[in-house]
Structure 1
Amino acid sequence: MAARKLVLVRHGDDPPDDRVVSFAVTQGFDPVIVRPFKGEALPEADDSVAGSVIYGGPFNVFEEDRHPFLHAEAEWIRTCMAGKVPLLGICQGAQQIARVMGAEVGPPASGLHEFGYYPVSPTPEGRDLLPDMLYMTQAHFHTFAIPEGAVHLATSPLYPNQAFRIGDRTYGFQFHPECTIEGFRRWQSTPWAAYGKPGAQSREEQDALMLEHDARQAEWFYAFLAKLFGTR
C-alpha cells in the first residue's frame, strides 16, 4: 500500500531538512511539498492525505489581491477543516488559518519582533499541548487574534497569542518548532534577519539559547506531530 501523504505547503526555497519532513520520512509518510507561490497546484484532499502543514513565510496574509495564491491556500485550509484532515499552521500558516476564521492578523501596535529563542508558556487550557514553559524558535513581527470558537493554548511575554486549536485537528503555532539548528543558522545569515529591531535577540543570545533549549523543543515537537498525524 502506498504511503499516506503529508501535504507540506511551503512559502520559500529552504532545503527540506526541517523536523516535519524528518518526521514524515521516519514514520513512513510521503512528504508532498507544494509551493503555490510558484504556481504549483495543491492536490485533492482525498483519503490518501493523512494531514497538512502550512509553513511560515514572508507574505502578508491580508494581501490576497497582491498574492492571489493565498486564495488557493485559504480554500485548502477550509477543505482540510471541513474534511477533518489534521492541519498545522506555523507562523504565517497560523495567521492564514486565523484569517480564514475571521480573526485579525497583522503587526502589533508594540512594534516588537521575536527573532531568536523565547519562552512560551501554556494557558490553563493549553497544558495538554504544552505541559510546561519551553523556549521556542521565533522569527516574526506579525501576530493573530485568537479566532472565535478556538481555544487559546500558549502565550509569551512579547506576543500573548502563541498557539490555538480549532476542534481537535487544527492547530496554529506562532513559533517555529520545525526549525532545526541548521535551519536557524541559515536564518541568521539572511538579509531579513531582524538584528537591532525592538525585541529581537542578538546573535550571541540566540546561539546560547539555541544550544541550551533546541533538543527539548525537538523532543516536544516530534511527540506533538505523532499525536496529530499518527505513526506507522
Structure 2
Amino acid sequence: MTRILSIMHEFPAETDRGTLHLMSQGFEVEEIRPYLGEALPDLTDDIAGVKIQGGAQFVSDLEAFPYLRDEAEFARAVMERGIPLLGICLGGQLIAHVLDATVDYHPEENVALGYYPLRPTGAGLDWFPEEFIVLAANAQGFDCPAGATLLAAGDVFPNQAFIYGDRTIAFQFHPEVTRPMLDRWQQELSHNIGKPGTQSVEEQNRGFDLHNETLGAWYFDFLDRFF
C-alpha cells in the first residue's frame, strides 16, 4: 500500500508539511478537490490512508456545500474498510458529523486563531506530550462522538482531538501549517482577529517562532506512526 489520499477544500499556493513529509517517506499523495467537481476515488487495496484537510466551509451548513455530503459518505466507507483516516479541523468536524456528533459555532461566539495549549487526556498521553502548544484556526468545533475517546482538550474550543476505534483520528488544531500558509491565513482571516479567543498577529508570530519546530517534529512522528 503506497497511496495516501488527501481530500482538499481549497487550492493553496503551497503544499502543507504533512503531505511533503509523506512524499519524502515514499508515499504517493493524491490530492482530490471535490469542491472543484473532482470525483472521490474508489477505495482500492493500494491505499494506505486518507487525510481530510481543513477549509473555510462549515459542516453545519451542508446545504451550501453539497460535496461535503459526498465526503461524509466517503469517510464512512473509509472507516468501514478499516483504512487509517485522519481529519484536520474541517476534516475532523466532518468525521464527527459522520459519527452523529454535533458540529457548530462556539456558544459564546469565540473564535480560535493563534497558538494555544493542548491538554492531553489520559488516553491522549499515548499520542501527545504532556506540555504542548498547537496552532488553531476555527470558528466551529465538534463534540466528542459517542463511542469515541477524547484525546485532548483546549481552552477556546474544549474538544481538540478524538480517536474512534484505532484507525480514525480527528484534530481540531492544525499541525500541517507552514510559514507561507500562516502568512496567507493572517490575511484571509484578518476579519476574525480581535474576536473573543483570537490572538493578534504579533502573538501568532511569536507562537510560530516558539512552537513551530516542535509541532512539526511531532506531526512527522505522528504521520509515521499512524500511516
TM over 0.5: yes
**Which residue number in structure 1 is paired with residue 67 of structure 2?**
69
Residues 217 and 46 (structure 1), Cα distance of their counterparts in 2 relative to 1, 3 Å cut: same
Query: Given residue 65 of structure 2, which amino acid in structure 1 is its aligned partner?
Result: H
CA distance, structure 2, for counterparts of residue 35 and residue 52 of structure 1: 13
Q: What's the secondary structure of 2:97's corresponding residue?
A: helix
5 Å matches for 1:97-108? 97-108=95-106
**Which residue number in structure 2 is paired with residue 11 of structure 1?**
9
Per-residue CA distance 1:76-106 (angstroms, 9 max, x = gap): 1011100011000000100000001000000
5 Å matches for 1:130-145? 130-145=128-143
Equivalent in 54, 57, 65 of residue 56 of structure 1 = 54
Query: Given residue 78 of structure 2, which amino acid in structure 1 is its aligned partner?
Result: C
Q: Please tell me whether residue 184 in structure 1 is matched to residue 169 in structure 2.
A: no
CA distance, structure 2, for counterparts of residue 193 and residue 28 of structure 1: 39
How many pairs align? 227
CA distance, structure 2, for counterparts of residue 12 and residue 227 of structure 1: 27
Per-residue CA distance 1:157-216 (angstroms, 9 max, x = gap): 221100000011100000000111221111112155521111110011111111011000
Query: Given residue 51 of structure 1, which amino acid in structure 2 is its aligned partner?
Result: G
TM-score in terms of structure 2 length: 0.97
5 Å matches for 1:76-225? 76-191=74-189, 193-225=191-223
Q: What's the secondary structure of 2:51's corresponding residue?
A: strand
1:187 and 1:193 in contact (8 A); partners too = no
CA distance, structure 1, for counterparts of residue 69 and residue 112 of structure 2: 27
Shift of 1:131: 2.5
Residues 191 and 118 (structure 1), Cα distance of their counterparts in 2 relative to 1, 3 Å cut: closer
CA distance, structure 1, for counterparts of residue 68 and residue 19 of structure 2: 23
CA distance, structure 1, for counterparts of residue 190 and residue 69 of structure 2: 25
107-116 vs 144-153, which moves further: 107-116
55-64 vs 94-103, which moves further: 55-64
Q: What's the secondary structure of 1:162's corresponding residue?
A: strand
Residues 213 and 29 (structure 1), Cα distance of their counterparts in 2 relative to 1, 3 Å cut: same
Per-residue CA distance 1:26-72 (angstroms, 9 max, x = gap): 01111100010111001111111110110111111122222110111
Shift of 1:141: 1.3
Q: Mind listing any 5+ residue stretches in structure 2 that lack a counterpart?
A: none
Q: Please tell me whether residue 25 in structure 1 is matched to residue 26 in structure 2.
A: no
More helix by share: 2
Shift of 1:16: 4.4
Name the Cα RMSD after superposition.
1.2
CA distance, structure 2, for counterparts of residue 219 and residue 36 of structure 1: 30
Of all paired residues, the percent bearing the same amino acid is 39
2:14 and 2:181 in contact (8 A); partners too = no
TM-score in terms of structure 1 length: 0.94
CA distance, structure 1, for counterparts of residue 130 and residue 192 of structure 2: 28
Q: What's the secondary structure of 1:64's corresponding residue?
A: helix
Shift of 1:75: 1.1
